Structure 1
Amino acid sequence: MKKIASLIIISLGLCFIFSCQNKSETTMKRYDWIATENAPKEYPMRIYSGTFYAGENPVNAIPEGTTINYGWGATGSIESSGDALKEVPDTLALTWISFTENKNYTGKFPLNVKLIDSLFSAGYPAEDLPSGHEDFFYFKVGMAPGGVVVLWLGGPGKQVEVGRYQGKETNDVDWKSAIPGYDGTMKEYGKHIIADLPKEVQQQIIENKIPYGKWDHWRRHFNWKPVITGDVNILSLSMFMFNKEMDFLIGKRLNPVGYIQRGAIEKLYIFWVDHKKREMRSQIDFDEAETDQIFSALKPGENCDLLLHVTNDGEVTVNLKTAAGVIPFKKAKVHTYLR
C-alpha cells in the first residue's frame, strides 16, 4: 500500500509540474519581431555567427554571410526564423570580424529583458494610423570598431537603444568553413573590401587612427524638445538623432510639453502645408562638428528647446534655446521640396 501511495503522490506531483509548465508557456508574452544587422558604412563588418537566446533555446539567428556596411543604426538584411511570435530574448551571442582592424570579436551579452519587454508590450503612439498605435518590429544589432555592439528596437518612425555591449578579441574562428571556396586569409579578404573605402578611412587604417570612441560619444542623451512655429500648417515632424534613435511626431505630439532625453539631433523632416494648400517637406541636415559643439556645451540635466520656424516661402530657421541664450545652427543645410 505504501508503494502505491508513493506512486500516486509522485504522479500527482508530475502532473502539477507539467500543468504549471504548460500554463507558463501559454501565458508567456510573445511578440512578432525579426533580427537585422548593421555597421558604419566606412567600417564594414561580417558576422561569423549570431543568435538571440531565451534561456538555452535559440530564438532567432542574426543574418550572416555578407559584408555589413549599411550604415550605423540602419536596417540591414533580414533574418526571421522560429515561430512567428517569439519570446523576448535574454542573451545575444555574437562573433564577427572588423575588416578595418583585421580583428575578430566575440561576446555573449545579457539583455535588459524588462526594458525590452516593456517596449514591445507598450508599443508607441502613431496618430496617423486608425489604431493610434504602432509596434516595434526590428531587433537591430550594430557593430562598430573596437568591439562595440549596440542594440536598438525599431519600428516605423521609431527607434530606441536598449543596450550597449563590449566584445572581446578572439582567434577561435574558422572563416574558411564560413566562406567555402576562398583559400586566402581573412586579412587578404579584407584588403579587397578596404580598397573600396574612402581614401580618408584607408589613411586612418595606415596611421592607426580609426576614431575609436566616436560611437559611444554620440550615445549621450540631452534633455530637449522641438518647438515649431510659423505661418503654415505643420503636419508632422520626423527626427533622427546621432545615436541613431528616431521619433515621429504628429497631431498632439507635435508640441510636447515635457522634455525628453534624446541624442543630439542629426537630421529632421518637417511636413507642412503652404497657403496654396500644397503639401511641402523641409529637410534639415545638421553639421556633425557644429552640433557636437553646441550640445556638448550644455550643463548636465539642462533643458533646451530646438526652435524650428517655417515660413510660407519654404525658409526654415533652426536654433537651440538654452540657459545661456539662443544658439543658431549656422552650418545646418535646409532644403524644401514639394512633398
Structure 2
Amino acid sequence: MKKIIISTLLTILFWACSNKTKYSYSVTVSAPEEYPVEVHEGWLMDDQKKFICSMPKAGNEGGGWEYDGSKAGQGGSRIPYHLNLTYVAYAEKKFYTVDADLPVDKILEEFNKGFDVEADHKVDGEYPLVHDTYNTFTIGAAPGGVIVIWLSAGHHRVEICRLQAKEVFVDVNDFYQNADDENQQQFFDSWFKIAVPEATQEEIKEQGIPFGLWDNYREKFNYRFVLNPYDEEDELTGYYNINFNGESELTDDVKRANEYKLNSIPYDANLYFKKYFTEIFFNDKEMLEVFNTLKSKHPDKPIDIIITPTFMYNDMKVSVKCEDEEIPLKKYKVEGVWGG
C-alpha cells in the first residue's frame, strides 16, 4: 500500500511539473542581418490583459534571422496571450505595427515538451541527459511585415507562429529624439545609409527587396543528412542544425540523427561522425531550387543530403538525392573538418 501511495504521488508530481503554466523567459526582437529593424514601442499581455513586459529597446536589431536579438532586461514568467509591437524597418523606410493574439496552446505545448540536454556534471563517469526547456521568447521581423515568433534556449529553437504586421505612420519626432531637424523622408534616407549594409543597399537599388523570401524559408521538406564514408565504417553520430526558417536542434543520438524529419532547408549544419566533425554553410537560393525541383519530380519521397568526405577527411563534397536522382551542390561552404 505504501509503494502504491508513493507511486501515485510521484505520478502526480511528474504531471504537475510537465504541465506548468509559468516559465521564466527573456524577450528579444530579431531581424535579418541585411534588413535591420528597431523597436518603437510594444508589450506582451497575459490572459487577464495584464501587462507582462515591454518590448526591448536595444537599438538596431539585425543580428540574423537564425539568431535571437539583444537581451535588454525584458521578460516574464506568465504565458503571453497578446503581442503589440511597433517598429521601424530601415531598409523599407517604413514603420510597421502588429497587434495580435498568440497561439497559447502551442506556446504551452512547446514549453512543456522542451528537450533533452547533457547535464553539467558526470554520473558514473558520464554526462547524463536531463530535461530542459526554453528560456527566450523572440519576435523576428522580416521585410513585408513578416513576423515570426520562436522559443529558444541554447542549441534549440522552435517556431511558434507567423503573424502579419501592417504599415503604420509614426511621427519621426516621436521615435527619434534628435530628429527635429529632419522630416520623415530625410530620417528614412539617412538611416537607410547608416543602418543597412552597403552591399544590401546596392542590391535593393538594382533588384529590390526580396519580399516573400522569409515565407519560402518556412516550407518544410522530409529529409536527413547521410554520411557516405570511403571506409564504410564511419557513420553520422549527431548534429547541430540551424535552418533558414530560424529553427535549430541538437542531437547526439545516433538513431535520431539518421532519421528523416520535416525541416526547412539547412543554413548551418554541424555534423558529427565517429572521429571527425564538420561545419557546412548552405546557400539559400540553391537549396530552395534543388529541394523544390526534387519535391516536384518525386512527390512525397524523402530526400537525402549526402556528405562525402575526400581522402583523409580533408574536405567534404555535398549532393542532394531523391530516389535515383542526385544533384551535386556548388554553392555550399565547408567551414572546416576537425578531429582524427
Is TM-score (shorter-chain normalized) higher than 0.5? yes
Residue type of the alignment partner of 2:36 = P
For 2:25, the equivalent position in structure 1 comes to: 33
Identity rate, percent: 27
3-state SS of 2:287 partner = helix
SS of structure 1 residue aligned to 2:141: strand
Give the total of aligned pairs: 304
State yes or no: 1:283 paired with 2:275. Answer: no
Query: Which residue number corresponds to residue 186 of structure 2?
Result: 188
Judge conservation of contact 2:66–2:244 (CA < 8 Å) in 1.
Answer: no
Alignment of 1:230-269 (within 5 A): 230=229, 231-232=233-234, 236-257=238-259, 259-269=260-270
Q: CA deviation at 1:303?
A: 1.5
Matches within 5 A, 1:140-289: 140-171=138-169, 173-183=170-180, 184-196=182-194, 197-206=196-205, 209-230=208-229, 231-232=233-234, 236-257=238-259, 259-272=260-273, 274=275, 280-289=276-285
Name the structure 1 match of 2:320. 320
Which is further off, 145-154 or 246-255?
246-255
Which residue is 2:45 aligned to? 53
Give, in whole Å, the separation in 2 of the partners of 1:149 and 1:334: 31
Aligned to 1:332: 332
TM-score (norm 2): 0.80
Tell me the distance in 1 between the aligned counterparts of 2:100 and 2:323: 40
Shift of 1:314: 3.5
Q: Alpha-carbon deviations, 1:108-151, whole Å to 9, x = none? A: 12211111101101101225663432311111111111111111
1:73–1:57: structure 2 CA closer, same or farther, 3 Å change rule?
farther
C-alpha deviation, 1:336, in angstroms: 2.4
Q: Distance in 1 between matches of 2:205 and 2:305?
A: 40
1:130 is matched with which residue? Answer: 128
Match of 1:70 in 2: 63
- Calculate the aligned-residue CA RMSD, in Å: 2.6
SS at match of 1:176: helix
- Do the aligned partners of 2:236 and 2:257 also contact (CA within 8 Å) in 1? no
Matching residue of 2:104: 113
**TM-score, normalised with respect to structure 1:** 0.80
Q: Report the secondary structure of 2:41's partner residue.
A: strand
The alpha-carbon deviation at position 271 of structure 1 amounts to 3.5
SS in 2 for 1:63: coil
Once the two structures are overlaid, the 10-residue window that deviates more, 57-66 or 262-271, is 57-66
CA shift, 1:324, in A, is 4.4
Residues of 2 paired with 1:53 and 1:302: CA distance? 43
Partner of residue 308, structure 1: 307
The 3 A distance-change label for structure 1 pair 186 and 158 is farther
Contact 1:60 1:79 in 2 (8 A): no
Distance (Å, rounded) in 2 between the aligned partners of 1:189 and 1:40? 21
Counterpart in the other structure of 1:9: none
Structure 2 gap segments, 5+ residues each? 1-18, 120-126
Kindly indicate whether residue 297 of structure 2 is the aligned counterpart of residue 295 of structure 1: no
- Give CA-to-partner distance per residue, 1:166-199, whole Å, 9 cap, x none: 111111x344234334322343333333224344
The secondary structure found in structure 2 opposite 1:295 is helix
* Structure 1: gaps spanning 5 or more residues: 1-26, 275-279
